Structure 1
Amino acid sequence: MKNSIFAFLALLFSSFAIAQSVSEKDVPNIVKSTFLLSYPDQANVKWEKEKGNYEANFTIGKTQHAMLLDSSGNILETEEEISVKKLPAKALAYIQKNYKNKKITEAAKITDAHGKVTFEAQVTSIDLIFDKQGTYIKSIAD
């Protein structure tokens, strides 16, 4: 029983170490400034710290967005929630074949600092990553 409780607590605390909410006052000014240059009208931003980087989560209209920045204010990637229908056809076919009877719960378009586009589809508790053409790249467990 003690081992079960210890394992649960270790898992709980390790999940907080992955992404942790931070107050806007704890986000470096250079990070906030870079974000505001891209999205000057965003006032309701939720910040998280993940592996030394800062993620700004915000909504434009009804669409969820995120921007990942390093502590020097460099944009590492942006993410935009998309409709499942906007995933590349090849990605949808891969999911249908390999995850039969599983529902895609979220989909996103990710653009890195160099303009490289990838797509993410969340199926059960796994994020599936695909390139721009829909070719499977990797899985990331949530």
Structure 2
Amino acid sequence: MKTKILLAGLFAGISLAGFAQSKSSLPVPAAVKAAFEHQYPGTKAKWEKEDGNYEAAFTSKGVKTSAVYDKSGKLIETETAISGDAFPKAAKDYIAQKKLGPVTETAKIIKADGTVSYEAEIKKTDYLFDAKGAFLRAQKD
């Protein structure tokens, strides 16, 4: 009886492990890996699929960073964590006026075409702002 219970538990554990795919084991197209390696030589990343694109999360020069590529390896955007001091004043004022709550993370986003925007995470929602700090939109994480 104990053997049957042990085997059932072992089987269940193996089955669950099969469903939980590690982000680092995500199959990433060779073109995407090559583009990332060219831009960030020798950097290890955790890969995630986001809206059909591939996002590499990593640390660059001690700063939490992510880079998003399409399936052909074309860079879409990079997102870099920034301090609250580097976040635009107009965006801070908007957050305070709307009483959105405490900011848990702030980031600077640079699109492939050079367009800059900023992001503040508040209560599992990302608030996006343009380069001057004007509110653009909010999206759930």
User: TM-score normalised by the shorter chain: which range applies?
Assistant: 0.7 to 0.9
Aligned to 2:35: 34
Aligned to 2:106: 107
Post-superposition offset of 1:62: 2.8
CA distance in 2, matches of 1:26, 1:127: 27
Q: Give the partner amino acid of 1:114.
A: D
Q: Give the partner amino acid of 2:49.
A: K
CA distance in 2, matches of 1:45, 1:23: 7
Aligned to 1:79: 79
Query: Per-residue displacement from partner, 1:5-54 (whole Å, max 9, x unpaired)?
Result: xxxxxxxxxxxxxxx85445711111000011111131x21000112110
Matched residue of 2:96: which SS?
A: helix
Aligned to 2:94: 94
Aligned to 1:132: 131
State the Cα RMSD in Å: 1.6
Aligned to 1:119: 118
Q: Give the partner amino acid of 1:96.
A: A
**How many residues end up aligned between the 2 structures?**
121
Q: Unpaired runs of 5+ in structure 2? A: 1-20
Query: Per-residue displacement from partner, 1:42-81 (whole Å, max 9, x unpaired)?
Result: 1x21000112110000012431000000000000000000
Structure 1 length as normaliser, TM-score?
Answer: 0.80
The answer to whether the 8 Å contact 2:46/2:56 transfers is yes
Post-superposition offset of 1:97: 0.7
CA distance in 1, matches of 2:117, 2:58: 20
55-64 vs 71-80, greater mean Cα deviation: 55-64
Q: Give the partner amino acid of 2:84.
A: V
Q: Unpaired runs of 5+ in structure 1? A: 1-19
Moved over 6 A (4+): none
Aligned to 1:14: none
Aligned to 1:11: none
CA distance in 1, matches of 2:74, 2:58: 18
Structure 2 length as normaliser, TM-score?
Answer: 0.80
Matched residue of 1:56: which SS?
A: strand
